[in-house]
Structure 1
Amino acid sequence: MDVIVLTKVGGILGPFALIFGLIMNAIYEVLDLVGIPNVALTIILFTLIANILMLPLTIKQQRYSRVSALVTPEIQKINKKYKGRTDEVSQRRMQAETMEVYKKYGASPSSGCLPVLISFPILLALYRIIYNIPSYVNSIHDLFLTIATPIQQTTGGAAIMDQLIEELKISVTKFDFQDIEKIIDALNGVKTTGWDTVANAFASNPNVVQAINNVKDTIININSMPGGLNVMDAPVHFSQGMAGIFPGILIPILAGVTQYLSVKITTPKNNNAAAAPENDMAQSMKMMNVFMPLFSVWICFTLPAGVGLYWVCNSVFRTLMVVIVNRFFNNKDIDELVKENAEKVAERKGKPTFTEKLMSNGASNAQEETKKYQSMSDIAKANRSKKDYMPKNYTPVDKDVPLDPGSISSIAHMLDKSKKDD
């Protein structure tokens, strides 16, 4: 299995990775002070703290879920009313009526997806940190540095590292032997059974061999998990028989089970009842409820056990958070929630969200279009009521002029004349 090793995260994930990296380092340092330095335990506590930090988003999402039980049926009625009507005026009227429903309940069209959009880059940053813990935890970084320093000083070390990266199937982004951080990234991808291979490859440099012997056991111990697993190793090794399958197989199984239970528990039952069978969104959600547990099992088979541990813990802690939040909201009457939402909307009156601006523009345009069409209709009715009304550029046919067979007006005049003669 390929082990993906990444350097410190930049771009949009940079700020998230920096903050959570500091938290990860602080947790490990505390555990080290109390005499239990362990990456697996650090990941568990780190996941718990991350979910606590995201609690405001969870509250916002669950508040919307309660209110959406009232909003969804009315939105479905509006969609059914305008089903098949694709003209611009109908679409704008539908937007206007939809906006009125959201205003009625003090909800926002983006309330349901906004917490997910915000939490997504956070989750990506968490994954990156777990993949490359030495870049964020100082004590672990120092352990790998004691090995990386003599490796970089080894004659021909670059060629040896290239060979090890290929042999041990370590994936390093743009490996550069001159960059000691890249060497640490590569060493972080060495599995439990790979340290002897590294030592043998650098047998020509006693300093490397001694450094590995000094810190190898420490690195293995801090990465250890119950059952003899290691956070940097794949949880299952079929080639090793039953010893390589159990207990590692529990990680992907627990990932699938906890993800399934999380979906079942965190999805409000009243929302399921309100969703009509023909609702495309409801059908998509059902498919996701089946797909996500299966995806969890697959991804925890293929990725290091540390990522699987995070995946399981995240599902468990998120479910607990949602249960606690729902218990709080269940003590509130739904009318009280709607009233609170309406008050919040009133507080930010004059400062609509981006989505509300779009829908409001659509609503106002629909009213303008309706007035325009009504005005055009009134003009047409007035013109038809005039006795002398004639279409623009109309030229009457001269009865005395010989008929032109190629002229539509002449043919019509001829037919009209034949009827009178009959």
Structure 2
Amino acid sequence: MDIILTQYSGAILGPIAKLLGWVMNGIYIVLDKIGIQDIGLTIIILTMIIYLCMLPLTIKQQKFSKLSQKMQPELQAIQKKYKNKTDAVSRQKMGEETQEVYNKYGVSPSGTCLQLFITFPILLALYRVIINVPAYVNGVKGVFSNLVNAIYTTDGFDKILTDYVDAGKINNLTSKMVDFSAKDTTAVKNNIVDVLYKMPSDGWNFLQDKFGSLTDLIQTTHDQVEPMVTFLGLNIADSPLSTIKSSFASHSWLMLIGALLIPIISYVTQVINIKMMPQPQQTQTGDSSTDAMAAQMKTMNIIMPLFSFVMCFTVPVGLGIYWISAAVFRAVQQFFINKHMEKIDLNDIIAKNQEKMKKKREKLGISEEDMKKAAKIKTKNISYEASSKEKEEKLKEADEKKKHVKADSMAAKANLVREFNEGKRQEK
């Protein structure tokens, strides 16, 4: 009977996971035809394909970064011009002049956000695929079929597997996530596959102890599964932290070192990757929001490698492999992009960007003249409101000054004359 595992069904990540799983399955089939059954290598090739597909977007982002550096002197001049001016007119004019600079270079202020919005969901979706590879890769799923059917027909299998999961022996799996009492036979067998796929190395010895009549089948299945889920001696479904614990207990020092290298290499490759990326100029602009953004970017460059270091201890080794291979591939990619960017004529890019923005506005039915008129009208309205407020403030200020005038002073006498004249006018 074919085992059809339940794939992740999230509204956003579900379709992405299915697409990644479909590509991953295709890669595995090609490797299998040449005699290679290795999920770790499949993940590395999948990573290369993902970043090759994202190459045009990466180059676009790099162009934006380069244009941003060229724009900085002009943006800083505007910020300096309106420094400490908090009135509505000044803030409006500052925004308009800043937008004019972006229009001049043909870029959008949100130009660096798109890649993050794409790469982060891919990382989350890939996590779903890696922790449940048999649900997406048919070649892996089929290896478990005979053993799953045999375990399912063994009395008391549900209690044996539930107790094993409850003991915390399997990373990223709890008894709440598996239900061996379900009436749906396919669902129960899917749960058995989940347990077998995530089974640590010593777990197969546990199976042989508990299912003595299936010893030969368990050994045969383990011999087939091990090269698939093992990369450089590490189980890709297990976490480095759990591998370190079990290796320390069994004195498997090479395995322990290998598990430690996953987060360490992840940290190092992330740092190298950031160093090779074009960095924004670290200058004090005088604008608190801009300076805060630059400081935040600098902090993120420190935190992100540390984040990957910590996370790689607890996530499956397979995700750590993706993280490392992605950083290495990005570093190689960045080397050639940097060479390419050195030869690019920025004036040519600016002209093309301006033309693109003009065409977009024309499609929306917005002309340059319409934008200028709208800006003038808005500025006039704000100027009128601001002038009215200024008059009110001046009148209040004059009233306050009158309160503090001495009774016998010339100013007090002048006020009395003015009030007398105003009274006479009102009588008429």
TM class by shorter-chain length?
Answer: 0.7 to 0.9
Deviations along 1:88-136, whole A, 9 cap, x unmatched?
Answer: 4443333222211110001111211112112221222122212221111
TM-score computed with the length of structure 1 as normaliser:
0.78
Q: Which residue of 1 aligns with 2:397?
A: none
Indicate whether 1:202 and 2:208 are aligned: no
What percentage of aligned pairs have identical amino acids?
36
CA distance in 2, matches of 1:289, 1:379: 48
Comparing both chains, which one has the higher relative contact order based on Cα–Cα distances under 8 Å and sequence gaps of 6 or more? 1
Indicate whether 1:230 and 2:219 are aligned: no
Indicate whether 1:317 and 2:329 are aligned: yes
Indicate whether 1:285 and 2:297 are aligned: yes
Q: Which runs of 5+ in 1 are unaligned?
A: 382-411
Q: Which residue of 2 aligns with 1:407?
A: none
* Other structure's SS at 1:249 match: helix
Deviations along 1:18-70, whole A, 9 cap, x unmatched?
Answer: 22111111111111110111111111111111111111221221111111112
Q: Which residue of 2 aligns with 1:59?
A: 59
* Structure 2 contact 200–238 (Cα < 8 Å) conserved: yes
AA in 1 matched with 2:324 = V
CA distance in 2, matches of 1:68, 1:414: 60
Distance 1:164 1:96, change over 3 A: same
Indicate whether 1:174 and 2:177 are aligned: yes
Q: Which residue of 1 aligns with 2:193?
A: 184
Equivalent residue pairs, number: 373
* Structure 2 contact 234–255 (Cα < 8 Å) conserved: no
CA distance in 2, matches of 1:369, 1:174: 58
1:21-420 alignment runs, 5 A limit: 21-167=21-167, 168-170=169-171, 171-172=173-174, 174-177=177-180, 178=182, 179=187, 180-203=189-212, 206-207=213-214, 209-226=215-232, 228-235=233-240, 237=244, 239-240=248-249, 241=251, 242-266=253-277, 268-269=278-279, 271-272=280-281, 276=285, 279-351=291-363, 367-372=376-381, 374=383, 416=416
Distance 1:231 1:375, change over 3 A: closer
C-alpha displacement of 1:315: 0.4
Distance 1:305 1:380, change over 3 A: closer
What RMSD in Å do the two structures reach over aligned CA positions? Answer: 3.3
Deviations along 1:163-193, whole A, 9 cap, x unmatched?
Answer: 1111214415632223122322222211112
AA in 2 matched with 1:69 = Q
Q: Which residue of 2 aligns with 1:387?
A: none
C-alpha displacement of 1:196: 1.4
Deviations along 1:68-98, whole A, 9 cap, x unmatched?
Answer: 1122333334344444544544433332222
* Structure 1 contact 6–185 (Cα < 8 Å) conserved: no
Distance 1:304 1:372, change over 3 A: closer
CA distance in 2, matches of 1:190, 1:380: 73
Deviations along 1:226-272, whole A, 9 cap, x unmatched?
Answer: 2x222223335152443343233222211111000100101x15x33
AA in 2 matched with 1:131 = I
Q: Which runs of 5+ in 2 are unaligned?
A: 391-411, 421-428
C-alpha displacement of 1:274: 5.8
C-alpha displacement of 1:289: 1.1
